[in-house]
């Protein structure tokens, strides 16, 4: 249990921005898990009813229908599953690759660390979306390839963050004394450095999720994501282009969904950063 | 005749001064030829002002800094060239207490875990045995068992300090290097901390190397003292001799600078002028000669070696 | 003769997350012209806060003054017009030597620039109000003739504080100087405006013992030569003994004793003072600590705040703060059971 978390949790929940962020994400998660139950027309993920195409929002289709006549609300809800999958898997693998690399590079220094950091610099030098497009193009359009492209381009952010934090933490007295006590490097890295930089990683991860969803949506928009009829939000926006501006709901609905989810992650990340700030967490008050 | 438990032979620790393009343009000789023998059970003081190299020396003994030259012998074994793995075994018996031992605690670990850690690393004791040893150490430093479940920030600074010391003692070391243990503490707290150190030394049969710039602390704690100036020992000997009959001009200035309450005011006629020279650019010959009232040509030509002069040793061409 | 500075019953505190911390509780002190007064106390006793209160540089959002006066040359600084206090008193009549000379300098300007900047505003030769007409003060000119005079004064004072080759020193950056040199500069900067009172907040704590001896001697000499009063806060009793004319002791926000220096060390009256002196290491190694810990200031002990750690404490000590008890010869103590000299 992290020290002082009870007081911090109270502060976290009372901060409106982070509470909103948390709420938005809960909506996303609930939508993803309970899509089959919540969707009024669960079959519309694959089915189409051309007679109903491009209906404006009304009592039957609360958010209107798309060009195939499928209910947008249902497709959005199922699309939430795809969104979460992409975000979690892509960011998760980026974290699992980037964090150890950053740890080792930051702890040891010298030429191996230089090498690792220059490699990550190479990846960082190319705009993420360009690199992701290139990879996804090469491998072919599918959700799996989108995830792969995103994780390959994203791990350097964590590597660099962890590298910087590890390097500065290495000068702390308690790290030096753990080494003086005879702790092995592995022990120091995993049991001492990692817990102390975890908050920075968590915050970056939360914000990274939001950015990843945006990039994934962009890839989907460009047609590099899943093939139709997968209800991926970016792809839905792409499909809507030719029907604008009359079928305004077609682009707006997935757009708002993306917006809310990304904002949710960003607000949560900001709130987590304040919540996890050691000064607030560990404030013992004035003596 | 008892064997020295720790021995330094002409130890040197130089730090490179790097210019542009990371080229070595000079070096700072933080420790420049230090030798001494530490006898079991004694409290050996290393005193000097900032920049004299005493902290670097302490860290070099611990292996935190790599010596540039010279030898370190511990319990009959040479330890300065060991691999990190072999070094770890030595750390069992030779420990280092930071200026603020409380800062050596990981803020995210419970105190109990921090206390277990040295034993987990170095011994094969099972949890119960570790627990027993920790509890006895906590008692020795005067802390209650309930502290085991607390985090460092939940106890006071003084108690953190005790926990930090307890952590070092769990390994039952033979020698503990105390680096500025009272720096920054209020006078009344200093007294408590020093008596804690004394008590621990008796209970655990420890040998101390006490590094400090505070002469009063050195005087009350140490049996033998070495005075350092710019990387070398300029005088050493029994504490009373150093303070009552200093022979090296620098030692005399140090002793003269201490206010003596109830006595003559020292600041009125304090004679030592100026500051120590730039450590990257030491004067030729004796490094104290730029401030020494007795300096002669000989002092500029030849650096005096630390030579025995009963009851201790002095590095000066014209000791008192 | 009215005192140069008289703090009367000053009480103030800080608003914190955990409550209101009562940092100063009815503290009084007085300094005469040219007197060096030592304000002694351990960490948390409020001496730095008192120094800041006199200068008027307490944090605005959290500090609240709940009572008392700070009377300087007859005017109460707490109620005077802030703009005029800023112009004529702060940095001019009362100057400050901080504890840590390193962080007190701006690292990106040479020390010469920083010193001349001070003199642009606070030189004793500057008599016009700042600013020209409607232009803000920041863009006002530095008259060339005054600048020359000021520069000469700087060189002369740097010489007085024993800094070698002052003209070269002025061209250096703060990180190129040693702690002792920086502290000498701070002392020079504190004396340049020609103050009546210099507040030195632990000026030698961060320095080596030989440099400390030099700096303390310097402060004393300059204070006597220029008839400048000095309020020296310190936790080092030895430093207080060396250069102070009188010593005040503070504990946990309360002032507990005051005496001329020789009397103070020869016959301390307050139990805290005696314990403090006893905790200094003797030559033979005995030193007694004070049991217990400094109290928190959000819910401090009632009455005399030292009572939880005092073996002489009884009922009245816990209820009501002891009044000033004049022991004669300028020595007063606030205690119901002071140590009395054997007559």
Q: What mean pLDDT is reported for chain B?
A: 86
**3-class state of residue C139 by DSSP:** helix
A103's tokens: 């740890």
CA distance linking residue C325 with residue C328, whole number of Å: 9
Report if residue B263 sits inside a domain. Answer: yes
- Return the CATH class of domain C5-44+53-255: alpha beta
Report if residue B101 sits inside a domain. Answer: no
Cis peptide before B240 (omega within 30 of 0): no
**Which residues of chain C make contact with A285, given a CB cutoff of 8 A?**
16-18, 298
The number of distinct structural domains making up chain B is 1
Which residue of C42, C176, C209, C275 is the best one to mutate when testing the B interface, meaning the one whose CB has the most B CBs within 10 A?
C209
Output the DSSP codes for A160-214: HHHHHHHHHHTTSHHHHHHHHHT--HHHIIIIIIHHHHHHHHHHHHHHHHHHHHH
A109's tokens: 């220094």
* N- to C-terminal Cα separation, chain A: 24
**Which residues of chain A make contact with C44, given a CB cutoff of 8 A?**
287
ipTM above 0.90, yes or no: no
CB–CB contact B49 C277 (8 Å): no
- Residues contacting residue C250 through CB under 8 Å, at least 6 positions apart: C27, C39, C40, C41, C45, C46, C47, C50, C256
Strand C94-97 relative to strand B6-18, pairing: unpaired
Query: Out of B158, B187, B213, whose CB is closest to C280?
Result: B187
CB–CB contact B103 A174 (8 Å): yes
Cα angle for residues A105, A111, A115 (degrees, 5° grid): 65
Output the DSSP codes for A109-152: -HHHHHHHHHHHHHHHHS-HHHHHHHHHHHH-SSHHHHHHHHHH
Report if residue A185 sits inside a domain. Answer: yes
Q: How far is C280 from chain B (nearest CA, A)?
A: 6
- Residue B269, domain extent: 6-85+208-314
Backbone phi, then psi, for B234, in 5-degree steps? -100, -20
pLDDT at C96: 92
As a whole number, mean pLDDT of residues A181-187 equals 85
Count of C-beta atoms within a 10 Å radius of residue B161: 27
Q: How far is B185 from chain C (nearest CA, A)?
A: 8
Cis peptide before C55 (omega within 30 of 0): no
- Residues contacting residue C199 through CB under 8 Å, at least 6 positions apart: C51, C54, C55, C94, C95, C96, C97, C230, C231, C233
- Residues contacting residue B155 through CB under 8 Å, at least 6 positions apart: B111, B147, B163
As a whole number, mean pLDDT of residues B261-282 equals 80
**Which residues of chain C make contact with B265, given a CB cutoff of 8 A?**
241-243
- Say what angle helices A194-221 and A128-139 make with each other, to 10 degrees: 60
Question: Which residue is it, tokens 């920041």?
Answer: C138
The number of distinct structural domains making up chain A is 1
* Closest listed residue to residue B228, CA positions, set B306, B296, B293, B300: B306
- Residue A145, domain extent: 12-44+63-280
Mark out the alpha helices in chain B (DSSP H runs): 54-62, 84-91, 111-122, 127-141, 157-169, 187-204, 215-221, 239-244, 249-257, 297-301
Share of chain B above pLDDT 90, in %: 18
- Give the domain CATH number at B51: 3.40.50.300
As a whole number, mean pLDDT of residues B119-137 equals 87
Report if residue B249 sits inside a domain. Answer: yes
Report if residue B125 sits inside a domain. Answer: no
**Which residues of chain A make contact with C298, given a CB cutoff of 8 A?**
285-286
Helix (H) or strand (E) holding A101: helix A72-108
> In this model, does residue A2 exceed pLDDT 60?
no
Report if residue B301 sits inside a domain. Answer: yes
**3-class state of residue C79 by DSSP:** coil
CB–CB contact A287 C296 (8 Å): yes
**3-class state of residue B45 by DSSP:** strand
Give the residue from chain B lying closest to C205, CA to CA: B184
Residue C268 zone, left/alpha/beta (φ > 0; ψ -120 to 50; rest): beta
**Of the ranges A206-210, B191-195, C35-39, the best mean pLDDT one:** C35-39
Give the residue from chain B lying closest to C180, CA to CA: B275
- Give the domain CATH number at A218: 1.10.3720.10
Report if residue A52 sits inside a domain. Answer: no
CB–CB contact C16 A287 (8 Å): no
For chain C of 343 residues, list the mean pLDDT of each consecutive stretch of 10.
Answer: 86 88 92 93 87 89 89 89 84 88 87 89 70 61 83 90 88 88 91 92 85 90 93 90 93 93 91 88 69 83 89 87 89 89 55
């Amino acid at each position: 249990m992290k020290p002082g978390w009870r007081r911090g949790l109270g502060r976290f929940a009372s901060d409106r921005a982070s509470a909103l962020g948390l709420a938005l994400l809960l909506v996303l998660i609930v939508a993803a898990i309970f899509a089959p139950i919540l969707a009024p027309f669960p079959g519309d993920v694959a089915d189409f009813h051309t007679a109903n195409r491009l209906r404006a929002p009304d009592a039957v289709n609360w958010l209107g229908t798309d060009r195939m006549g499928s209910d947008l609300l249902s497709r959005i809800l199922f699309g939430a599953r795809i969104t979460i999958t992409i975000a979690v898997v892509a960011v998760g693998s980026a974290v699992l690759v980037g964090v150890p690399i950053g740890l080792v590079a930051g702890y040891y220094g010298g030429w191996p660390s230089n090498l690792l950091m220059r490699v990550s610099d190479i990846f960082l030098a190319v705009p993420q979306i360009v690199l992701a497009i290139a990879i996804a193009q090469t491998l072919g359009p599918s959700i799996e390839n989108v995830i792969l492209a995103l994780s390959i381009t994203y791990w350097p952010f964590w590597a660099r963050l962890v590298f910087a934090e590890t390097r500065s933490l290495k000068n702390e007295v308690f790290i030096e004394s753990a080494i003086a006590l005879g702790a092995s490097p592995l022990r120091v890295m995993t049991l001492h450095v990692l817990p102390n930089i975890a908050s920075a990683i968590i915050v970056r991860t939360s914000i990274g999720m939001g950015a990843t969803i945006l990039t994934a949506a962009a890839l989907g928009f460009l047609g590099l994501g899943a093939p139709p009829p997968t209800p991926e939000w970016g792809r839905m926006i792409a499909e809507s282009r030719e029907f604008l501006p009359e079928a305004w709901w077609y682009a707006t609905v997935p757009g708002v969904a993306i917006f809310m989810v990304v904002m949710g992650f960003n607000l949560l990340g900001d709130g987590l950063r304040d919540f996890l700030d050691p000064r607030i967490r560990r404030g013992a008050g004035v003596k | 005749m008892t064997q020295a438990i720790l021995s330094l032979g002409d130890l040197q620790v130089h730090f490179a001064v790097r210019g542009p393009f990371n080229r070595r343009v000079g070096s700072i000789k933080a420790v420049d030829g230090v030798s001494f023998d530490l006898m079991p059970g004694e409290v050996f003081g290393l005193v000097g002002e900032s920049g004299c190299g005493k902290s670097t020396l302490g860290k070099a003994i611990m292996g935190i800094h790599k010596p540039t030259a010279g030898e370190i012998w511990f319990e009959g074994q040479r330890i300065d060239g060991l691999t990190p793995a072999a070094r770890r075994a030595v750390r069992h018996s030779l420990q280092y207490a930071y200026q603020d031992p409380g800062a050596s605690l990981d803020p995210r670990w419970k105190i109990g875990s921090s206390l277990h850690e040295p034993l987990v690393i170095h011994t094969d004791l099972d949890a119960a045995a570790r627990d027993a040893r920790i509890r006895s150490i906590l008692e020795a430093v005067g802390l209650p068992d309930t502290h085991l479940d607390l985090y460092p920030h939940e106890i006071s600074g003084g108690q953190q300090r005790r926990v930090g010391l307890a952590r070092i003692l769990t390994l039952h070391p033979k020698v503990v290097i105390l680096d500025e243990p009272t720096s920054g503490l209020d006078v009344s707290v200093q007294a408590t901390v020093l008596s804690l150190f004394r008590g621990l030394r008796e209970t655990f049969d420890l040998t101390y190397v006490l590094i400090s710039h505070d002469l009063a602390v050195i005087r009350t704690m140490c049996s033998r003292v070495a005075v350092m100036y710019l990387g070398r020992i300029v005088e050493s000997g029994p504490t009373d001799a150093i303070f009552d009959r200093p022979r090296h001009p620098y030692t005399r200035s140090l002793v003269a600078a201490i206010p003596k309450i109830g006595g003559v005011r020292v600041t009125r006629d304090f004679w030592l002028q100026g500051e120590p020279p730039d450590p990257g650019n030491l004067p030729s010959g004796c490094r104290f000669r730029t401030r020494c009232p007795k300096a002669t040509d000989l002092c500029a030509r030849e650096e005096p070696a630390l030579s025995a002069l009963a009851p201790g040793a002095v590095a000066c061409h014209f000791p008192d | 003769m009215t005192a140069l500075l008289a703090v009367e019953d000053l009480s103030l505190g800080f608003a914190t997350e955990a409550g209101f911390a009562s940092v100063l509780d009815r503290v009084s002190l007085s300094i005469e012209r040219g007197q060096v007064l030592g304000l002694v106390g351990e960490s948390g006793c409020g001496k730095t806060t008192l120094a800041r209160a006199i200068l008027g540089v307490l944090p605005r959002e959290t500090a609240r003054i709940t009572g008392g006066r700070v009377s300087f040359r007859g005017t109460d600084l707490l109620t005077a017009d802030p703009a005029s206090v800023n112009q004529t008193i702060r940095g001019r009549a009362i100057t400050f030597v901080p504890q840590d000379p390193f962080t007190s300098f701006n690292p990106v300007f040479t020390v010469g620039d920083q010193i001349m900047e001070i003199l642009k505003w606070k030189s004793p030769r500057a008599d016009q109000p700042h600013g020209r007409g409607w232009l803000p003060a920041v863009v006002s000119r530095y008259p060339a003739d005054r600048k020359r005079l000021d520069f000469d004064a700087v060189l002369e004072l740097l010489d007085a504080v024993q800094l070698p080759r002052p003209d070269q020193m002025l061209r250096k950056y703060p990180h190129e100087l040693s702690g002792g040199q920086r502290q000498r500069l701070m002392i020079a900067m504190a004396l340049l405006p020609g103050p009546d009172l210099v507040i030195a907040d632990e000026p030698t704590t961060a320095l080596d013992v030989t440099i400390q001896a030099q700096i303390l001697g310097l402060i004393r000499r300059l204070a006597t030569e220029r008839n400048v009063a000095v309020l020296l806060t310190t936790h080092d009793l030895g430093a207080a003994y060396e250069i102070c004319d009188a010593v005040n002791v503070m504990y946990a926000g309360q002032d507990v004793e005051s005496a001329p220096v020789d009397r103070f060390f020869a016959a301390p009256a307050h139990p805290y003072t005696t314990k403090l002196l006893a905790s200094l290491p003797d030559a033979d190694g005995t030193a007694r600590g004070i049991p217990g810990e400094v109290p928190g200031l959000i819910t401090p002990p009632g009455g005399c705040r030292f009572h939880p750690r005092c073996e002489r404490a009884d009922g009245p000590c816990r209820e009501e703060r002891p009044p000033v008890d004049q022991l004669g010869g300028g020595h007063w103590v606030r205690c119901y059971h002071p140590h009395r000299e054997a007559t």
